Amino acid sequence: MFESVNLKKVPDTYRMSTSFDGSNKKNQNCLPSILKRKCPKSVYSPSQKRNSVSQLVDSEMIPLRINRVKFVSTSHAFIKVSNRYLTSDLENKYEEGDRRYLKKLNSVKKKPKRVTFADSNDIIGSDNNTDDIELELQPNVEQVKSFDSAVVVPEQPKPLTINLSDCYDVRSYNTYIRLKSKLENFEKSILPLATDEAMKKFKFNCQKAVTIPVNAISPVSAAHLVDKYTKLNYLLAGKPVEVGDIKLNASQHPLGIAFCKNLLAKKFVRQGDLTVSSKPDAAFSLAAVLTSLWVDFPDFGQLVLAHFHLACPYLAPVFIPQVEGQSDEDYHKALGYHYSHNGEVEKQDSFLKRMSGIMRLYAALIISKPRQPGKINPLGLSEGWRWISALLNLDPRPDICATLLYDFLEVAGNDMFKVYGGQFRKLLAYICQEYFPKLEKVTPSSAGGPIVRLEGFLQKILKEESIPPPQGILPLNFW
């Protein structure tokens, strides 16, 4: 399969570390020779690292094994869930059905400088502690006017037919449910405007104010991109914007700005499966504008993230299981499939193409630089580490996992290589030696397209020892 990879004596405990520690020869020897690189120990520190342009890259990282022995640790304790270990801050966040898997181990002393994947605490917002989330069974919809203030209503667990540990890790699932609940309550809060027939013209103008600039986003010039960003910024800020021959101010209605934010978030995600799926280069200009708007309006960014997860739950990643009594149509819709008017589910090729476009837009969003000087990407490469490590710790699904992994590596792999260096090389070695054989086992012989593309891409990486920048990426400081 991978002739250039040395498969000799791959140990059961394959530790991903931040540097090639000379004292840890066992880990070095398990890597293919083409990936071995000596790096000074000072290249990495547990909290931050300098990149090629001498900018600090946040990477608050924690130990993680992504193999047969999987764990994430803090300085306080290990928490075991079935065969997987998760951080102790989620100890009280399990559904009742999952508590039978819990087993708290004794506290252990954490080894210094044995750190790996970046923590994902920053991607859900500046305050990721779910302890302060207010829970109400009947929220006052009229008081929910921003996405961050949307109340999270816990879902009642339903009986499942399969093992939950094969579908998601608890952290990803909690994030997915949290954003989903907030989105549902946010959309309920704007329902009075959405169903008000007297405001039909206002809503139509809001849709035009969103649709026209987003459809026109392209890297034709810096001035063109700035113009589209400015129009959308003014719209979300409640400033007057020109829509045809009139001027629209979204703040004319108390729910107008929230209504426009939801329209815009949905429109950006929709561009992934409509535009990026057929024109991959379009992802980077869309992501550039979206990242800058996220910096200006953090609650809008979380709304975008919720719509991403709704359209493609594999971005959590969550492999949604079919519950007892659930129809095939409802189940497929939960996975992101579309249905025609005559009740036929879309073909697998069409589904994979749309999911590919959404992932490419998401990966482009991860590596984009905001326009504002001195600001950092609210999502960032730490989200890339979080997603790929969570994906590799789950049993792969045919077609979709190979498709998304290929698109992610092709778009974000170059930046991951530059920032994480040797650590990323070890991750690639793990994908080749451990994860790819699992993909082959679950992939039918009649559906080999995605896995063949992934195999060819991995072979090219191992041969060239690098990942080239994606085609169509915007130059640094383009706008």
Mean of the per-residue pLDDT values of the chain: 75
Arithmetic mean of pLDDT, 307-327: 94
Tokens of 316: 């959590």
pLDDT at 334 over 60: yes
Establish if 246 belongs to a structural domain: yes
Phi/psi of residue 327, nearest 5 degrees: -70, 160
**pLDDT > 70: what percent of the chain?**
66
Could you read off the pLDDT of 106-145 as tens digits, one per residue? 333 333 332 233 333 332 233 333 333 222 222 333 434 5
User: What was the pLDDT predicted at 413?
Assistant: 96
User: What was the pLDDT predicted at 167?
Assistant: 87
Q: Are 330 and 158 in contact (CB under 8 A)?
A: no
Arithmetic mean of pLDDT, 406-422: 95
Q: Who has greater pLDDT, 433 or 137? A: 433
Query: Which residues, including other chains, have CB under 8 Å from residue 313's CB and lie 6 or more apart?
Result: 176, 319, 320, 334, 335, 336
* Number of compact structural domains in the chain: 1
| C-alpha distance from residue 263 to each of 62, 246, 260, 335 (Å) | 37, 20, 5, 22
> DSSP string of 6-43?
--TT--SS-B--SS--TT-HHHHHTS-GGG-----GGG
Q: Are 142 and 123 in contact (CB under 8 A)?
A: no
Could you read off the pLDDT of 35-47 as tens digits, one per residue? 334 333 333 333 3
pLDDT band at 66 (very low <50, low <70, confident <90, very high): very low
Rounded to whole angstroms, how far apart are CA atoms 461 and 25?
24
| C-alpha distance from residue 94 to each of 23, 196, 243, 398, 409 (Å) | 39, 40, 48, 28, 32
User: What was the pLDDT predicted at 39?
Assistant: 36
Rounded to whole angstroms, how far apart are CA atoms 84 and 166?
10
Lowest mean pLDDT among 148-152, 186-190, 211-215: 148-152
Nearest CA-CA partner of 211 in 254, 275, 144: 275
Tokens of 176: 């997915």
3-state secondary structure at position 49: strand
Rounded to whole angstroms, how far apart are CA atoms 90 and 73?
12
Establish if 49 belongs to a structural domain: no
Rounded to whole angstroms, how far apart are CA atoms 92 and 133?
13
pLDDT at 335 over 60: yes
Establish if 152 belongs to a structural domain: yes
Q: Are 78 and 108 in contact (CB under 8 A)?
A: yes
Establish if 197 belongs to a structural domain: yes
Establish if 473 belongs to a structural domain: no
CATH number for the domain that contains residue 169: 1.25.40.510
pLDDT band at 146 (very low <50, low <70, confident <90, very high): low
pLDDT band at 2 (very low <50, low <70, confident <90, very high): low
Establish if 108 belongs to a structural domain: no
Phi/psi of residue 246, nearest 5 degrees: -125, 165
Establish if 383 belongs to a structural domain: yes
Residue type present at position 41: K
Rounded to whole angstroms, how far apart are CA atoms 479 and 474?
9
- Looking at the chain, the number of H-run helices and the number of E-run strands are 15, 9
Q: Alpha helices, DSSP H only, in 326-473? A: 328-335, 348-367, 381-392, 400-420, 422-430, 436-442, 449-464
Rounded to whole angstroms, how far apart are CA atoms 445 and 364?
31
Cis check for the bond before 11: say yes or no (omega within 30 of 0). no
Q: Can you give the residue range of the structural domain that contains 245? A: 118-126+133-464
Residues of 424-436 as b/e, b for ≥16 C-beta within 10 angstroms?
bbbbbbbbbbebb
Establish if 386 belongs to a structural domain: yes
Tokens of 218: 């392209």
Taking residue 1's Cβ as centre, other Cβ atoms within 10 Å add up to 12
> DSSP string of 437-453?
HHHHHHS-TT--HHHHH
Could you read off the pLDDT of 236-268 as tens digits, one per residue? 999 999 998 899 999 999 999 999 999 999 999
Arithmetic mean of pLDDT, 343-363: 96
**Residue found by looking up tokens 């070095």 in the block:** 28
